[in-house]
């Protein structure tokens, strides 16, 4: 791209490693190395006075300063309970994440010479609304304009899809440092559609490290005969984690490695074979297989019974045990696809698409005299659009073919969570969750459902919006249902019990939910709009009070 067009950068904000990329002037998705020359940066932050040290240096310092070094912060994203204090001040996960983002952006700005303002950040597919909002806020705190939050597996599929002409169904197996995602995606006519997605928030390379750490501690005790437990010492523990990860890397290349473990003045040399490592970690690998089978079953319900390609992304998918096991289980040779970089590159390609779409919109607006926000590019006469695309190709130094291709590519995502309301079931005589939008519904999703008031003369109806992972339309709470927003709908006086209340949910492509409720009896509409937000409602409203205002489903 020419100098005046600053690209939108793509950021893979990982649990253990992060990566930043952009589409360069030759239209190539390109990872930008950090100031140390590495293509990924450890997602570790060390607090040092007013300084925030991010990356390899912080990761190494974690040994000396375990109390002022923060790791794995992504696992806390969106959590209200997380507390980290430094010099008497409390830091939120998004604030800590913003330091990582800032470091990536600063280094990339330095390297490329661009003044970076706009970014696309990725997150695991099953992140709910609070986690997504927190991710976006992390970018904002870093002083950036977050243009979009997209799912990691979708980003990987975009990066893969740009090389692919053929229509195909792809299963993306993403085993990172902290999370596991399994996603089925269809690439058809250049469009990318997510069919379904599943995953585990707490399953990643770090868990493999943990089992090595435990093993090393046991072996140290056996060899030294000491009754001391190395795991009791924070310093030894940090050291063990670093050594465990190193051993894991070595076992990707070779079939055995020696690890030196020092604790309480005694040192032992412990041999770890790949066989032993695979045996120790077999339950973890099996869990990814079980989740993959679950996703395949869901895909089959949606009419997709086979897939053409099994893509491995995420650094942990490099472990030989992964390909071997998947090939045995699913009878297809998996393809390791740029495990550390695909996600950031896909985000960058998506960013470029946003930029081009916006450019097309603005220029079509100029050409047709319509306001940019009113422009409907699809409905605009094709000679106008083509002229605009050619102009953009020229200005941006791109080939017309690639501008057209990007403009035409559509990316359809699914929701990784179900969204519903809590209602009283007269049939079951119990509170139930009624899911209006269900997990794996394509986005944008919209749904309307009718409920009734519970009592005669009820003054208000309490609309409790929850998200959950259930795929059924109705079930009894509370299993794993989380209140994300609450609103009160005022009712006209004197309504009989069972007066209709209609609730509509609109979930956009970004996974943001918009809800409204109407009372229908008097033709008079009472409308409530809820934009779900992080932290939803804090106060615990007494259950009895809730019941008195509840809505019913019959």
Ligand X SMILES: Nc1ncnc2c1ncn2[C@@H]1O[C@H](COP(=O)(O)OP(=O)(O)OP(=O)(O)O)[C@@H](O)[C@H]1O
User: Which CB sits closer to ligand X, 277 or 424?
Assistant: 277
Which positions ≥6 away from 488 have C-beta within 8 Å? 460, 461, 462, 463, 528, 549
> Per DSSP, what are the bridge partners of residue 263?
266
Q: Which of Mg ion, ligand X, none does residue 205 bind (CB under 5 to 8 Å by kind)? A: ligand X
Which range in 133-141, 311-319, 396-404, 488-496 contacts ligand X by CB under 6 A? 311-319
Neighbours of 281 (CB within 10 A): 20
| Closest by CA position to 350, among listed 107, 160, 140 | 160
Report which of 224, 249, 253 is spatially closest to residue 236, judged by C-alpha positions.
Answer: 224
d(CA 400, CA 7): 18
Phi and psi at residue 498, to the nearest 5°: 85, 10
Axis-axis angle for helices 400-408, 382-396 (nearest 10): 120
| Least distance (Å) between residue 177 CB and ligand X | 3
Least distance to ligand X, CB of residue 279, Å: 16
C-alpha span between 261 and 273 (Å, rounded): 16
Going from the C-alpha of 487 to that of each of 454, 515, 550, the distances in angstroms are: 17, 10, 12
Closest approach of ligand X to the CB of residue 281, in Å:
11
The stretch near ligand X (CB under 6 A) out of 11-19, 77-85, 321-329, 454-462 is: 11-19
Structure tokens at 313: 């992304």
Among 340, 341, 431, 519, binds ligand X (CB under 6 A): 340
Nearest residue (CB) to Mg ion, 179 versus 380: 179
Q: Which of residues 163-222 bind ligand X (CB under 6 A)?
A: 176-179, 204-206
Interface with Mg ion (CB under 5 A), residue total 2
Choose the one of ligand X, Mg ion, none that binds residue 27, judging by a C-beta under 5 to 8 angstroms depending on kind.
Answer: none
346 makes contact with ligand X (CB under 6 A): no
The partner in contact with residue 82, picked from ligand X, Mg ion, none with C-beta cut-offs of 5 to 8 angstroms by kind, is none
126 binds ligand X (CB under 6 A): no
Sequence-ordered list of residues with C-beta below 8 angstroms from that of 84, at least 6 positions apart, any chain: 70, 90, 91, 96
Nearer to Mg ion, 10 or 14 (CB): 14
Q: Of 98 and 389, which CB lies nearer to ligand X in the complex structure?
A: 98
Choose the one of ligand X, Mg ion, none that binds residue 511, judging by a C-beta under 5 to 8 angstroms depending on kind. none
Omega cis (within 30) before 444:
yes
- Return the DSSP state at 441: P
- Identify which of residues 104 and 422 has a Cβ nearer to ligand X in the complex: 104
Q: If contact means CB under 5 to 8 A according to the sort of partner, which of ligand X, Mg ion, none does residue 193 touch?
A: none
To the nearest 10°, the Cα dihedral for 359, 362, 366, 369?
150
Alpha helices in 68-193 (DSSP H): 93-112, 129-141, 152-161
Residues 7, 161, 314, 511: which binds ligand X (CB under 6 A)?
A: 314
Among positive and negative, which fits the CA dihedral 143, 159, 377, 25? positive
74 binds, among ligand X, Mg ion, none (CB under 5 to 8 A by kind): ligand X
CA distances from 318 to 20, 43, 103, 119, 322 (A): 20, 19, 26, 28, 7
Instruction: Rank residues 14 and 452 by Cβ distance to ligand X and give the closer one.
Output: 14
Per-residue x/- track, 239-268, ligand X (CB under 6 A): ------x--xx--x----------------
If binding is defined by CB under 5 A, does position 176 make contact with Mg ion? yes
Nearer to ligand X, 203 or 436 (CB): 203
- For ligand X, the closer of residues 18 and 309 by Cβ is 18
Q: Count of CB atoms within 10 A of residue 265's CB?
A: 8
Give Cα 428 distance to the centre of its chain: 36
Contact flag: residue 338 with ligand X (CB under 6 A): no
Which of Mg ion, ligand X, none does residue 245 bind to, with CB < 5 to 8 Å depending on kind?
ligand X
Which one of 11-19, 247-255, 302-310, 405-413 is the stretch in contact with Mg ion (CB under 5 A)?
11-19
Minimum Å gap between C-beta 204 and ligand X is 4
Contact 13, 123 (CB under 8 A): yes
248 binds, among ligand X, Mg ion, none (CB under 5 to 8 A by kind): ligand X
Contact with Mg ion (CB under 5 A) among 7, 14, 128, 153? 14
Return the H-helix or E-strand segment holding 499. Answer: none
**Is the bond into 134 cis (omega within 30 degrees of 0)?**
no
Residues that bind Mg ion (CB under 5 A): 14, 176
Applying CB under 6 A, the residues found at the interface with ligand X are: 14-17, 40, 74, 176-179, 204-206, 245, 248-249, 252, 314-316, 318-319, 340
């Amino acid at each position: 791209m020419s100098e005046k067009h600053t690209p939108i950068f793509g950021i893979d904000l990982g649990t253990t490693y992060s990566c930043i990329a952009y589409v360069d002037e030759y239209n190539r998705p390109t990872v930008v190395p950090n100031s140390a020359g590495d293509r990924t940066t450890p997602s570790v932050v060390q607090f040092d006075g007013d300084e925030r040290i991010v990356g390899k240096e912080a990761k190494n310092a974690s040994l000396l300063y375990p109390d002022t070094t923060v790791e794995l912060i992504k696992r806390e994203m969106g959590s209200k309970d997380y507390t980290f204090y430094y010099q008497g001040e409390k830091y939120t996960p998004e604030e800590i994440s913003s330091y990582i983002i800032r470091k990536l952006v600063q280094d990339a700005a330095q390297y490329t010479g661009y003044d970076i303002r706009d970014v696309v950040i990725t997150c695991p597919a099953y992140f709910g609304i609070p986690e997504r909002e927190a991710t976006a806020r992390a970018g904002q705190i870093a002083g950036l304009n977050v243009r979009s939050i997209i799912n990691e597996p979708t980003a990987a599929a975009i990066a893969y899809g740009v090389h692919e002409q053929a229509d195909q169904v792809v299963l993306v197996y993403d085993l990172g440092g902290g999370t596991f995602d399994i996603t089925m995606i269809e690439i058809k006519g250049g469009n990318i559609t997510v069919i379904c997605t599943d995953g585990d928030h707490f399953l990643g390379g770090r868990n493999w490290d943990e089992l090595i750490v435990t093993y090393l501690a046991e072996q140290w005790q056996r060899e030294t005969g000491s009754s001391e437990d190395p795991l009791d010492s924070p310093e030894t523990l940090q050291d063990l984690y670093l050594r465990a990860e190193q051993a894991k890397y070595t076992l990707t290349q070779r079939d055995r490695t020696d690890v030196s473990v020092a604790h309480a003045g005694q040192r032992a040399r412990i041999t770890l074979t790949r066989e032993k490592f695979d045996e120790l970690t077999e339950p973890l690998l099996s869990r990814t297989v079980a989740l993959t089978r679950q996703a395949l079953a869901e895909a089959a319900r949606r009419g997709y019974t086979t897939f053409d390609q099994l893509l491995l992304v995420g650094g942990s998918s490099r472990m030989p045990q992964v390909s071997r096991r998947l090939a045995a289980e699913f009878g297809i040779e998996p393809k390791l696809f740029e495990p550390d970089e695909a996600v950031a590159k896909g985000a960058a390609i998506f960013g470029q698409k946003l930029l081009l779409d916006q450019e097309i919109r603005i220029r079509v607006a100029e050409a047709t005299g319509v306001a940019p926000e009113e422009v409907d590019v699809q409905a605009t006469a094709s000679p106008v659009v083509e002229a605009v695309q050619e102009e953009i190709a020229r200005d941006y130094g791109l080939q017309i073919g690639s501008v057209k291709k990007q403009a035409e590519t559509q990316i359809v995502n699914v929701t990784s969570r179900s969204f519903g309301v809590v209602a009283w079931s007269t049939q079951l005589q119990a509170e139930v969750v009624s899911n209006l939008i269900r997990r794996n519904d394509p986005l944008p999703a919209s749904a309307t459902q009718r409920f009734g008031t519970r009592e005669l003369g009820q003054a208000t109806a309490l609309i409790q919006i929850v998200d959950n992972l259930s795929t059924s339309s109705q079930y009894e709470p509370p299993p794993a249902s989380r209140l994300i927003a609450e609103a009160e709908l005022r009712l006209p006086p004197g309504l009989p019990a069972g007066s209709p209340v209609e609730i509509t949910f609109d979930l956009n492509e970004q996974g943001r939910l918009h809800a409204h409720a109407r009372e229908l009896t008097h033709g008079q509409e009472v409308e409530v709009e809820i934009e779900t937000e992080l932290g939803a409602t804090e106060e615990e409203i007494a259950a009895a009070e809730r019941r008195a205002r509840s809505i019913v489903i019959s």
